[in-house]
Amino acid sequence: MKRTTSIIIATLALMLVGSIDCAAQKLTFGYINYTKTLHSMADYATAQTTMQGLREQYDKEAAYNEDKFFKMYSDYIQGQKSFPEDIMLKRQKELQVAMDQGIKFREESEKLLRTAEAELTKPIEQKLDSAIAVVAKDRGLAFVLNTEGHSYPFINPADGIDITPLVSHVLAGQPLPKNDTPAITPKESELSADDAKQ
């Protein structure tokens, strides 16, 4: 009986010590405004320049289609009093087809532009994700929060660190500062109101 009581007390003591150890372990995390960081990357600026060129080409073709439609419509208005009925019906059908083609082209070009943008952005996002993972592993972070959209109006700088400058180091191909060296200044470690709003 004494032995059983001793085992129970020892087990309870171990459980208590284990729970105290778990409570004493501090969970550290990082935070970053993902979109703001993505938009600051040189690769992203290059992708946006490419997208602008594509948009201009599609807009030029759409404008050509619209000019063609308005010319057809102008000819139709001018000749509607003198055209026989069968020619009038033919011209009306041609106008309808031209209008439908113009609308369809606009819709398809928007889809193609969205696909092109996703394809251009995907490798840049993967590069940023990899840089975030390098920083998180190096600093022993449990996870990284995305602060855009005012999702986290307050983050305690004693528990979380702004990893933006560290991610910038990795993206620039520079080695990370040593972990025991204060790599982040107090101002950088506090989540700014502007960053939280974006």
Report yes or no: 44 and 38 within 8 Å, Cβ to Cβ.
yes
- Asked whether residue 106 carries a pLDDT value surpassing 80, the answer given is yes
Tell me how far the alpha carbon of residue 169 is from its chain's centroid. Answer: 20
Q: How far is CA 50 from CA 43, 45, 117, 176, in A?
A: 11, 9, 9, 32
pLDDT band at 47 (very low <50, low <70, confident <90, very high): very high
Query: How does pLDDT run across 76-105, given as a tens digit for each residue?
Result: 888 888 888 888 889 889 989 999 999 999
Q: How many C-beta atoms lie closer than 10 Å to residue 164's C-beta?
A: 21
Q: How far apart are CA 16 and CA 77, in angstroms?
A: 90
Give mean pLDDT, residues 162-190: 74
Give mean pLDDT, residues 168-176: 93
Q: How far is CA 134 from CA 30, 85, 167, in A?
A: 12, 74, 8
Report yes or no: 148 and 198 within 8 Å, Cβ to Cβ.
yes
Query: How does pLDDT run across 48-86, given as a tens digit for each residue?
Result: 999 999 999 999 999 998 999 899 888 888 888 888 888
pLDDT band at 31 (very low <50, low <70, confident <90, very high): very high
Query: Whole-number mean pLDDT of the chain?
Result: 82
- Asked whether residue 158 carries a pLDDT value surpassing 80, the answer given is yes
Give mean pLDDT, residues 110-138: 96
Q: How far apart are CA 51 and CA 128, in angstroms?
A: 20
- Asked whether residue 165 carries a pLDDT value surpassing 50, the answer given is yes
Give mean pLDDT, residues 25-40: 90
Please report the pLDDT score of residue 193 as a whole number: 43
- Asked whether residue 14 carries a pLDDT value surpassing 80, the answer given is no
> Which is more confidently placed, 156 or 173?
173
**Cα-based torsion angle of the residue sequence 176, 177, 179, 184 in order, rounded to the nearest 10 degrees:** -110
Please report the pLDDT score of residue 164 as a whole number: 95
pLDDT band at 15 (very low <50, low <70, confident <90, very high): low
Q: How far apart are CA 27 and CA 133, in angstroms?
A: 17
- Backbone φ and ψ for 162, nearest 5 degrees, come out as -75, 110
Please report the pLDDT score of residue 131 as a whole number: 97
